[in-house]
Each structure stands twice: as structure tokens, then as C-alpha cells.
Amino acid sequence: MKWLTGLAAGLLLWAGTALAAEKWNMPTAYGDANYHTQNARLFAKAVGVCTGGKLEIVVHGGGSLIKGGEIKRAVQSGKAPIGERLLSAHQNENPVFGFDSVPLLATSFEASERLWRAAKGRLTKILDAQNLVLLYSVPWPPQGMYFKRAIGGVADMRGIKFRAYNAATARFAALAGMPSVHIELVELDRALASGRVEAFITSSATGYYHKLWKLMSHFYDLRAWLPRNYVFAGKRALEALDAHAQNCLRSSALLAEAAGTTRARELTGFYLEQLAANGMSVQAPGKRLAADLARIGEIMSAEWAKAAGAEGAAIIKAFRGK
């Protein structure tokens, strides 16, 4: 009889584990209103529906659970099973991560999508070697510059205190003669209010979510590049799931990438309209600014190509279809 009780207990335990919902905390760096965060919630919902509630993903926006700069390490070390981060934030670790922030390489959503397809395979491999699984990626709108006054070209930028969010923005500042400081987006409002920073490169989306018209007067729609966020899981955490749940993660990721990218594309016009409607001057760069940007872009492209070596060259080659 003893073995029967043991079996019954074992079966009960098995049934219990099969029914118990697993909870995954998902740290992200951007605010709750941001479409990236909303899209992550959509992804979480899709995973929940697909797994019949067996895998519950809880999104923690705005660096509230883990700060932006620590999310990748947290997922690598198993502290969090999944997370979202700005891809180019890791450019210092491996130049390939900065493929999306090479000035004037891909300046539209359409080009950004092609560049992503060209880079995705290599990135998947790099992340795999770090025990991470790439799930999906969504771009930010094209990057432009915010200032507190009209700017004709780089000569007018010298000495302005600049906020950087990755290696490329810091390098841009250096080439334009602006002292820069790295500031996460969730800390931007405070840095602006205290006068620590006076200008930056970012998207129309950032301008809208942070009501930048309160402190900034000019947005130059440079369309310099479209940086990406990506969502990734820890390999161990993912492999500990049953095959069905793993499939749910992958299929929901496909959905989230398509939905988020479409949303970004659709919202861009609205963001730009809102900047103007709230009193900002929104304009394409004038001749001098465009020429300066092209010059800096050439320097930065050459630097990136050199640093990213054969892997970078392969991405560019695939992107250009040669």
C-alpha cells in the first residue's frame, strides 16, 4: 500500500506542477505610456493566452524593477528570465550591437526593416554565445535633434551640454564639440530641469512622451538612424519551459515584432504633429546642418566599419543586397 500512497502523492505533485502558472518578471527601461512598453504588455498577453495562463509575464516598465543599464546582465545571470533593452546600449561590449546607430545608413522604417533582417542572424548568434535568446525587436522613430534655439550647423553647437543614450550619440557630440553625459530616458526630465543637459538626439516619440516643448524650442528632423529595442530571454529560463510554452514565446514574439513596428510607423506622424501643435519649430535640417551631419556620418560610419570588422561588413553587404 505504501507504494500506492507514494504514487498518488507523486501524481498529485505532478498535476500540481502542470497546473501551476509560472510567473516571469520582465524588466524594461521605458515608461508605461511608451509604445514599446505597451507592446511588451501585448506580447505578455499573447503568451498568456497561448499557454492557457501557464506562463504569466509581468512587465515592469521605466526601470522600476531593474535599471536600464543592468537589464542585460540581470537576464544573463538569471536574476530575470526575460527583459527589454536598447540594442545599441551594448555597442561598447561588441560594436556589432551598434549596427542600427550608424548615421544615415538606414533612415526610414522600410530601410530599418531591411537592415534588421540583414543583422538578425548574426545578432542571434552573438546573443546565443552569451546564453541569451533573441525574441523580437521594434524600432524607435527616426532620430532628430532637440535644441533650445535655432541651429544652422555644427558651429552653433559648440559647448552645448548634450545628453547621450549610447556610444553613437556620445561620439556624435564629441565630433560636434559638445560635452556629453550619458542619461537614461527615465532620468531625462530631471536632467533637463536642472540644466545638466541642453540638447540631445532622440525621436519625436521621446519629445511627445516627455512633453519636451516645455523646455525645448526646436526639433530638427534629421532622420539620422532608427535605433531598436530588443526583447530577449535567458537561455536556461527558456529551455526550462515545456516545448509548447517555448513555441508560445516564439510565436508571440513574431506577433509583437510586427505589431510594434507597425505601431511605431503609424505613430511617427502623430508625434511630429504634436511637437508642432505644442509650439515647437519642427523642420528638416537646413543645408549647412545637413552637410555637417553627412560629414560626421561619414566619419562615424568608417569608425564603426573598422570596429565591427568582418561581421559588420557582412551586415552592410547583406543590407545593400550585394
**Residue of 96, 185, 197, 241 interacting with ligand PCA (CB under 6 A):** 185
SS3 250: helix
Residue range at the interface with ligand PCA (CB under 6 A); choices 10-18, 72-80, 171-179, 198-206: 198-206
Q: Which three cell numbers stand for residue 294?
A: 553627412
202 sits near ligand PCA (criterion: CB under 6 A): yes
Q: Which of 43, 109, 140, 232 binds ligand PCA (CB under 6 A)?
A: 140
Interface with ligand PCA includes 86 (CB under 6 A)? yes
Distance CA 35, CA 264 (A): 7
Q: Closest residue to ligand PCA, Cβ-based?
A: 203
Residue 27 interacting with ligand PCA (CB under 6 A): no
Q: 76 or 229, CB closer to ligand PCA?
A: 229
Q: Judged by CB under 6 A, which of 206, 252, 261, 274 binds ligand PCA? A: 206
Interface with ligand PCA (CB under 6 A), residue total 9
Q: Is 165 in the site for ligand PCA (CB under 6 A)?
A: yes
Task: Tell the smallest beta-carbon distance from residue 225 to ligand PCA (Å).
Answer: 9
What secondary structure does DSSP assign to 175-198, as a single string? Answer: HTT--EEE--GGGHHHHHHTTS--
Region near ligand PCA per CB under 6 A, out of 2-10, 37-45, 203-211, 283-291? 203-211
Distances (CA, A) of 172 to 19, 210, 297, 313: 53, 22, 8, 21
Which range binds ligand PCA by CB under 6 A, 118-126, 145-153, 202-210, 264-272?
A: 202-210
Q: Which helix (H) or strand (E) holds 171?
A: helix 167-175
Closest CA to 282 of 103, 141, 168, 183: 141
Nearer to ligand PCA, 86 or 192 (CB): 86
Give 107's Cβ-side CA count (13 Å radius): 11
Least distance (Å) from ligand PCA to the CB of residue 309?
25
Alpha carbon separation from 151 to 19, 115, 192, 292, 296 (Å, rounded):
61, 30, 19, 12, 16
- Kindly list the distances between the CA atom of residue 185 and the CA atoms of 12, 46, 156, 190, 302, in Å, as whole numbers in the listed order: 48, 27, 25, 10, 28
Binding string, residues 31-60; x marks residues near ligand PCA by CB under 6 A: ------------------------------
Q: Measured from the CB of residue 202, what is the shortest distance to ligand PCA in angstroms?
A: 4
d(CA 24, CA 135) in angstroms, rounded, equals 15
Q: How far is the CB of 56 from ligand PCA (least distance, A)?
A: 28
Q: Which is nearer to ligand PCA, 119 or 205 (CB)?
A: 205
User: What CA–CA distances, in Å, run from 123 to 113, 190, 257, 258, 318?
Assistant: 15, 34, 16, 19, 14
Measured CA distances, 321 to 30, 121, 122, 195, 302 (Å)? 34, 15, 16, 45, 19
Choose the binding region for ligand PCA from 45-53, 94-102, 200-208, 289-297 (rule: CB under 6 A).
200-208
Helix (H) or strand (E) holding 304: helix 287-320
Q: CB 167 → ligand PCA: shortest distance, Å?
A: 13
Distance in Å, CB of 142 to ligand PCA, minimum = 9
Number of H-type helices and E-type strands within the chain: 10, 11
Among positions 286-305, residues that touch ligand PCA (CB under 6 A) are none
Contact residues for ligand PCA, defined by CB under 6 A: 86, 140, 165, 185, 202-203, 205-206, 227
